[in-house]
Amino acid sequence: MKEIVLDTETTGISIREGHRIVEIGCIELENLVPTKNKFHCYLNPERKVSEKALEVHGYTDEFLATQKKFSDIGEQFLEFIQDKRLIIHNADFDLGHLNNELAILGKKKIDNEIVDTLILARDKFPGSPVSLDALCKRYRVDNSKRTQHTALIDCDLLAKVYINLIDQKEPTLNFQTDETKIDQKNSTVVNYFKKVISPTAEELKKHKDYLKNNLKKNFF
């Protein structure tokens, strides 16, 4: 199965305030393994970047003014994600901005299958921090390169977090079935018994005689 880990950076949070996308990053996974296929571009948002957004990703108005517009790459982007499941952290935000860009071009909304890792993390760790940085810390994913939010770096981190979230990196231990171990080579079942077996009267007598005859002196 092919999936796309996707992330965007924007000029600000609110679409209603006219904020636009400044970067799109996509990494393709095939059976949870990254392929060499990536999609990445910086975009000219045709408006100023808010101060808060600039602090997050660091893309200046001067830098973005030299980049392509979404209208230049829209078809290429749609072709890249076509018929593939999208893996997004806080999908409502990214999809909202992407669909806004598509609406400006008069195109339909994205209708791909979506996996929102933010929802997965909230279900798995209720009450715990579930930001990408928090999940990287939980799963010991090195995020030292994430000094600022950039789409491709975030996609790389999210791909590793996603694999952990769905328990595919290492198998989940099931302690309810510890008494039975399956030998996967020959599918035989080996039972491990944890019951305490009490000695018989005869065994107790033999043990007592042994102690009496062989441990006559108390060295302690």
The pair of structure tokens assigned to 195 is 């019951």
Q: H/E element holding 154?
A: helix 151-165
∠ CA(115), CA(103), CA(110), 5° rounding? 20
Q: How many helices (H) and strands (E) does the chain have?
A: 8, 7
57 noted as active-site residue? no
Strand segments, DSSP code E, in 53-174 are 85-88, 114-116
Residue tagged active-site, from 19, 97, 149, 207: 149
Residue 162's alpha-carbon distances to 45, 96, 127, in angstroms, are 29, 21, 19
Known catalytic residues are 149
